[in-house]
Amino acid sequence: MTVASGTSRAVALRPWGWVAAGAGLWAALFVANEMVWDRLVFDGFGLDGRLGDAVHFFLFDTGKILLLLVAVVFAAAVLRTFVSPERTRALLGGRRRGWGNLVAAGLGVATPFCSCSAVPLFIGFVSAGVPLGVTMSFLIASPMVNEVAVMLLWSTFGWKVALLYAGFGLVLAVVAGFVIGQLRPERWVEPWVLEVKAAASVEGARPSWAERFTTGRAEVRTILGRVWPFLVGAIAVGAAIHGWVPQDFFVRYAGPSNPFAVPIAVLLGIPLYSNAAGVIPLIEALHAKGLALGTVLAFTMAVVALSLPEMILLRRVLRPRLLGLFVAVVGSGIVVVGYLFNAIF
């Protein structure tokens, strides 16, 4: 029936129409963000000098980053409807160490999880026969290398820094997982975890495009809802640093000439909990005032990959020894990455 098929075709195309409309609106807002704040802050309120610069930086950056986040999170969420942890686990089950670590780190980037899911994921992977070191590669890569981090680094430091960050992050996840795997970590897992018989997960039906876009929209809402206080806080502090901290303030204490700057930054970052959106606007300002790039990036990695709340959650399944080992291996890897960055830039 031509009429029926015509209608169903229109229904199938409708979600694409919404996405196109959204993209148009997004582009208009992006352009407006450039123009509005110049007019308003400098001409409208007549602010100039430090205060004007700081206010302009805050408003412009908040608008720009929020818009970029919306686009990137939406696109990534839609792409990710093609990947699920169930499929990831099936891909990783029975993988050897080495290759397995590499595949796990790659899949970690493609499979996001909120830190409250770290424990169920860990149990799910281990009970399905994924080696511990391979599971660790996954758990390290996922929070550290993701679209939000890469996009923010790209827009603040350029594509070279963003790609190097992603590359180093992946290598770090592979190596750290491999090293932990070599140390027979099974002895330091809480015994009950190894006895869990996880049910095989049933995979749902293939989602339609409309459902994929709905997932994307929901993801934008969840992620922005979670991230915006961090983001606005970081940009506000960053704006204050831009405006009032003297130029080259940090060079005296933590510039490239101080060999301890990187490890200190990592030690400071480990207990802190934030996501990339809450750190990168801040480190951009710190970098502008003389902190070396490797130092601020090492700080970023430490903040997003390791945190006290996540450790407390993981403590339920890992003995303190393995937890300590995890922090030590990942932390030293981050220090190495920091030095490498400082050597390159």
Partner 1 sequence: MEIKILGGGCANCRALEAMAKEAVAALGVDATFEEVTDYAAIASYGVMRTPALVIDGTVFLSGRVPDRAEVRRIIEGLGR
Q: Given the rule CB under 8 A, which of 90-98, 120-128, 177-185, 254-262 is the region that contacts partner 1?
A: 120-128
The footprint of partner 1 on residues 211-270 (CB under 8 A) is: 214-215, 218-219, 222
Q: Does 136 bind partner 1 (CB under 8 A)?
A: no
Q: Does 194 bind partner 1 (CB under 8 A)?
A: no
Residue 42, class by beta-carbon neighbours within 10 Å (0-12 exposed, 13-18 middle, 19+ buried)? middle
DSSP annotation string for 51-72:
HHHHHHHHHHHHHHHHHHHHHH
Candidate list 1, 4, 199, 343; residue touching partner 1; CB under 8 A:
199
Return the number of the residue (213 or 341) whose C-beta is nearest partner 1. Answer: 213
Candidate list 200, 205, 247, 259; residue touching partner 1; CB under 8 A:
200
DSSP annotation string for 241-278:
HHHHSPTTHHHHHHSTT-TTHHHHHHHHHTT----HHH
Return the number of the residue (37 or 125) whose C-beta is nearest partner 1. Answer: 125
Which residues have C-beta within 8 Å of that of residue 88, sequence separation ≥ 6? 107, 110, 111, 138
Q: Does 127 bind partner 1 (CB under 8 A)?
A: yes
Q: Write each residue from 87 to 116 as x if it is in contact with partner 1 (CB under 8 A), else as -, in one continuous string.
A: --x-----------------------xx-x
Q: Does 316 bind partner 1 (CB under 8 A)?
A: yes
Q: Does 1 bind partner 1 (CB under 8 A)?
A: no
- Nearest approach, Cβ of 319 to partner 1 (angstroms)? 15
Pinpoint the alpha helices (H) of the chain.
Answer: 2-37, 49-80, 85-92, 99-110, 118-127, 132-144, 147-157, 159-182, 191-195, 209-244, 249-254, 261-269, 276-288, 293-305, 308-314, 320-344
Candidate list 43, 197, 206, 257; residue touching partner 1; CB under 8 A:
197
Q: How far is Cα 55 from Cα 71, in angstroms, rounded to an integer?
A: 25
Candidate list 17, 44, 120, 324; residue touching partner 1; CB under 8 A:
120
DSSP state of 45: S
Return the number of the residue (164 or 317) whose C-beta is nearest partner 1. Answer: 317
- Nearest approach, Cβ of 72 to partner 1 (angstroms)? 18
Q: Does 311 bind partner 1 (CB under 8 A)?
A: no
- CA nearest 166: which of 150, 151, 152, 178? 150
Residue 7 bridge partners (DSSP): none
Candidate list 58, 69, 73, 85; residue touching partner 1; CB under 8 A:
85
For Cα atoms 250, 158, 235, give the angle at the middle one, nearest 5 degrees.
55
- Nearest approach, Cβ of 174 to partner 1 (angstroms)? 22
User: Phi and psi at residue 189, in whole multiples of 5°?
Assistant: -100, 140
What separation, in Å, do the N-terminal and C-terminal C-alpha atoms of the chain show?
64
> Which residues of the shown chain bind partner 1 in the complex (CB under 8 A)?
85-86, 89, 113-114, 116-117, 119-121, 123-125, 127, 192-193, 196-202, 214-215, 218-219, 222, 313, 316-317
